[in-house]
Structure 1
Amino acid sequence: DHLEAAGHVCLLKDACDLESSSEIARLIEAENLEAALALHLYRGGRLLRGHGIPFGIIFGGTDLNEDVNHREKNEVMGKVLEEARFAVAFTESMKETAQTQWVDPVFTREVKARVKRTAGVRLLGEMPQEDLHAALKNCFAVVNSSMSEGMSAAILEAMDLEVPVLARNIPGNAAVVKHEVTGLLFSDPQEFAQLAKRLVRDPALEKEIVANGREYVRCYHSWQAERRAYQHLVRTLEGGVGE
């Protein structure tokens, strides 16, 4: 009703009644469709790919709650979003789920373009672990700006390699980094800039953070202790096989 009230002529179709992309192509040609709006990223969105008409997506719920957990469907939905002009999420949690699952291609291109124009900034791809650790050892600090973390392996690796850590103050990071003890926690870009400058200007703070971080990893994240723990857990599983 909203669209028709604005003067648009609308054609409503159930995605379940449209079985193939070729059927969509015939419909677009027969009805001379100029644009499309799909409800459900997978069921509706996948049918609109590659037809040359602009389209938008309205997340349905099961696309983000269920289909996202199926690898093939997840890949298809990511490709749909690359072609979509926009996507509508009814809740903030749905928006966050989509942003976590699929990187915004337009934003990605903007970041890469800005990196090329910015002196002293390099964007690197994945690296073998040995090369990564060698690079980390030559860094002044490791920055973790994640919006969500479980337990950051990157932070623990940096501590183990005696590299100072600056991390966003979120629960996952704060569980590992104690502010001004094993690292520095920031809540916004301005605080990050202040703490980074402080770290550069205060060698004593850097030395203390590095020493505390290394000791923290040795005491609480020892790979030897972790190995023993997992070996014990697996033995408890073996003991229950014959029961």
Structure 2
Amino acid sequence: MKRQLWIAAPHLNVQRGNKVTADRIGKAAASAGFSVTKLDSTEEIDKKESKAPALVHGFHAYKFYPVLQALPIDTPFIITITGTDINNDLNDPDRRFIVKEVLQRASLIHVFDEYMKQKIPKEFQAKTEVLPQSVPYVDVSSASAPPPFNLLIPAGIRRIKQIPEAVTAVAEAREVIHGLTLTVVGPVLETDEKTKLDQLEAEFDWLTVMPPVDQSDMKELYDSHHAVINYSLSEGQSSALLEAMAAGRPALVSDIDGNKGVIRHGYNGFVFQDQPSFIRSLISLQDKDIYEALSAAALKTARTRHDPAAEQRTITRWYNTLA
């Protein structure tokens, strides 16, 4: 009889990083012989099913708490730290106790890089393991020679992503780099932010705001764009950023731990601290030799450090040990 595994992640009905990760991990678990049930931790949990799983893998410590409350006390579970739970919720006096209870009860804590591990309270670090997210190779053609130079932001539209600020920075960059375009693609998670983007789109004819597309359709966007922007205030490890790298597209990313766990400045992308350094990095990216070197390094990073087979081996080991 197959062992039962629950994968509990927030917002599984929206095409964003949580869904991408949960789908990928679910496939790895099924290939390891588990019967997998996916639960949206932001929806009501059916407590009648709470005694079923041999193991639970939860994503986002704070949002996993309702699932934890529905489980028998002795159910083993892995908690994957996704970003805002450790960067924001752990420091929120109204949420800290929930995050710490999840960490205390977890059988294993999973983080994506050493930056995140150092933020885990010391009393829980012994059971914390680092495993980068994986990303499959995305077979796209070489980017066409600019101009125009097409930039892409694949992200959920919400305040923490600072997309309007990114648009403003690109507008400034266009004063010195002619022919820049920017496409934003992703679900609307905060309507106020979408309103700001709608106003900017009406003002700038080089800006396109698109609704989310299926994962299989992202290839076309990477084919037609040269580089990806991540302007976020906070990240765990962006699935969209990894996917862009797997397509051989370099990234310009804000100077935050989640981004620096993936991007090495000047090697596989650029890390910027403010708008002027963003523009300087974008100017550097116009150099053909620099662009090609960063593109090759981005692809190499995705294929080596973020290899799906390596991720599957480690997760399978965890599951077989704990279930």
TM-score, normalised with respect to structure 1? 0.54
Q: Which amino acid aligns with 1:209?
A: L
Matched with 2:236 is 150
Matched with 1:9 is none
User: In structure 2, do the counterparts of structure 1 residues 131 and 107 end up closer, same or farther at CA, with 3 Å as the change threshold?
Assistant: closer
**Count of residues in Structure 1 that have an aligned counterpart in Structure 2:** 148
Structure 2 CA distance for aligned equivalents of residues 212 and 107 of structure 1: 33
User: In structure 2, do the counterparts of structure 1 residues 104 and 151 end up closer, same or farther at CA, with 3 Å as the change threshold?
Assistant: closer
Structure 1 CA distance for aligned equivalents of residues 193 and 268 of structure 2: 33
Matched with 2:312 is 227
Deviations, residues 179-206 of structure 1 (Å, cap 9, x unaligned)? 0001101111221122112211x11111
Q: Which runs of 5+ in 1 are unaligned?
A: 1-65, 71-91, 239-243
Larger strand proportion, structure 1 or 2? 2
Matched with 1:187 is 273
Structure 1 CA distance for aligned equivalents of residues 280 and 256 of structure 2: 18
Shift of 1:137: 2.4
User: In structure 2, do the counterparts of structure 1 residues 103 and 228 end up closer, same or farther at CA, with 3 Å as the change threshold?
Assistant: closer
SS at match of 1:122: strand
Structure 2 CA distance for aligned equivalents of residues 230 and 146 of structure 1: 28
Q: Which amino acid aligns with 2:297?
A: N
SS at match of 1:133: helix
1:107-126 → structure 2 map (5 Å cutoff): 107-126=193-212
Larger helix proportion, structure 1 or 2? 1
Matched with 1:204 is 289
Q: Percent identity, aligned pairs only?
A: 25
Is the 8 Å Cα contact of residues 252 and 272 (structure 2) preserved in structure 1?
Answer: yes
Is the 8 Å Cα contact of residues 137 and 163 (structure 1) preserved in structure 2?
Answer: no
SS at match of 1:123: strand
User: In structure 2, do the counterparts of structure 1 residues 99 and 215 end up closer, same or farther at CA, with 3 Å as the change threshold?
Assistant: closer
* Higher CA-based Rg: 1
CA RMSD of aligned residues (A): 2.9
User: In structure 2, do the counterparts of structure 1 residues 134 and 194 end up closer, same or farther at CA, with 3 Å as the change threshold?
Assistant: same
- After TM superposition, what 4+ stretches of structure 1 lie above 6 angstroms from structure 2? none
User: In structure 2, do the counterparts of structure 1 residues 106 and 222 end up closer, same or farther at CA, with 3 Å as the change threshold?
Assistant: closer
Shift of 1:110: 2.9
Q: Which amino acid aligns with 1:124?
A: M
